[in-house]
Chain A
Amino acid sequence: MFDIEPVEIRDFYRAHDPHYVDGILASSFSNGFGTRHPEVALSLFLTSGSLLSAARWALEHKQIACSPSSGFRHALHNSSSGFCTFNGLMLVAAKLIKEGLVQRVGILDLDQHYGNGTDDIIKHIAAKDWIFHYTAGLTFTCPRQVEIFFLFLPRILEGMEDCDLILYQAGADPHVNDPLGGWMTDEELAQRDHLVFQWAKAKNKALVWNLAGGYQKDGQGSINPVLQIHTQTALAHLKAI
């Protein structure tokens, strides 16, 4: 494991309304879990920090890195949404743009659900010239679309060839058994990850993957089914390098 550089408050301001940021950090506003627990507020410096640190490493080495983080993609400019409080994807992209380390960032969102928070922030901070955001949840939702998805995915990746950094949301909730998802099998999710990582490797792209959604539980109430999907993504990562 590698050390994390926590983000700073001013980094949250890059993607969010300062009034909202201050309210979350003071536990005055509800976070993405619908609570005001201070420990959640403190964790936000580290979850986005994980993504930032992984992105710096990936850019330095032109390789693939993992940020085992989540809770970014539904966070709106001025409010939390769907387990997400601050949009680490957008604030990390904005920070790296500001530092001149990247000119263009691809957000490859292959979670089950629409990345509404990312789109909202792109609009608010006028980021469409330096962000390529693809969110599969707008288009792909049912098993009969799998074949089309695999024809379409290489075109999306081609569209990201001019991006210096790819932030890949490897959501586990498209799985057929997920209570909030349900259109891809284990094998199809593995193929998804394989395609993304093999492309990144072939193009020498800096890519960071993180966890995004996943809501399955087994008969004992554990989240092992979700962990198995994330493990499969990790194995696809290893296979590609």
Chain B
Amino acid sequence: MIDKYIPLFFHPKMATFVDSLSPSALKPIQLT
């Protein structure tokens, strides 16, 4: 019996694929 659960709000089309990343997007974030 489940007495605890996490309310999770997900749709499969939320996900995009890491393979689609452009190399230019992989630069570190500027810390300012």
Residues of A within 8 A of B (CB): 1-4, 30, 32-35, 37, 39-40, 42-43, 46-47, 49-51, 53-54, 57-58, 61, 63-69, 74, 81-83, 113-114, 116, 137, 141, 180, 223, 234, 237-238, 241
Once the chains bind, are B31 and A113 in contact (CB under 8 Å)?
A: yes
Once the chains bind, are B9 and A2 in contact (CB under 8 Å)?
A: yes
| Known contacts A114-B31, A141-B31, A238-B4, A54 near B25 by CB under 8 Å | no
| Known contacts A46-B14, A50-B14, A113 near B25 by CB under 8 Å | no
Residues of B within 8 Å of A113, CB to CB, are 29, 31
B1 at the interface (CB under 8 A from A): no
Once the chains bind, are B9 and A57 in contact (CB under 8 Å)?
A: yes
Residues of A within 8 Å of B10, CB to CB, are 1, 4, 50, 68
A125 to chain B minimum Cβ distance, whole angstroms, is 21
Contact with A along B1-32 (1 / 0, CB 8 A): 00010111111011110101111110011111
A112 to chain B minimum Cβ distance, whole angstroms, is 8
| Known contacts A33-B21, A65-B7, A43 near B29 by CB under 8 Å | no
Once the chains bind, are B20 and A40 in contact (CB under 8 Å)?
A: yes
Once the chains bind, are A54 and B7 in contact (CB under 8 Å)?
A: yes
The A-B contact count (CB < 8 A) is 96
Cα distance A241–B11 in the bound complex, in angstroms: 24
Residues of B within 8 Å of A42, CB to CB, are 13
16 sampled A-B residue pairs with Cβ under 8 A: A1-B8, A33-B16, A35-B22, A35-B25, A39-B20, A40-B20, A47-B14, A57-B9, A58-B7, A68-B9, A68-B10, A68-B14, A74-B29, A114-B31, A180-B29, A238-B4
Residues of B within 8 Å of A40, CB to CB, are 16, 20
Residues of A within 8 Å of B11, CB to CB, are 4, 46, 49-50
Residues of A within 8 Å of B32, CB to CB, are 114, 116
Cα distance A67–B13 in the bound complex, in angstroms: 14
B30 to chain A minimum Cβ distance, whole angstroms, is 7
Once the chains bind, are A66 and B16 in contact (CB under 8 Å)?
A: no
Once the chains bind, are A241 and B29 in contact (CB under 8 Å)?
A: no
Given known contacts A65-B7, A68-B10, what 19 new A-B pairs fall within 8 Å (CB)? A1-B8, A3-B9, A33-B16, A34-B21, A35-B22, A39-B16, A43-B16, A50-B11, A54-B9, A57-B7, A63-B7, A65-B8, A68-B8, A68-B9, A113-B29, A114-B30, A116-B29, A141-B31, A180-B28
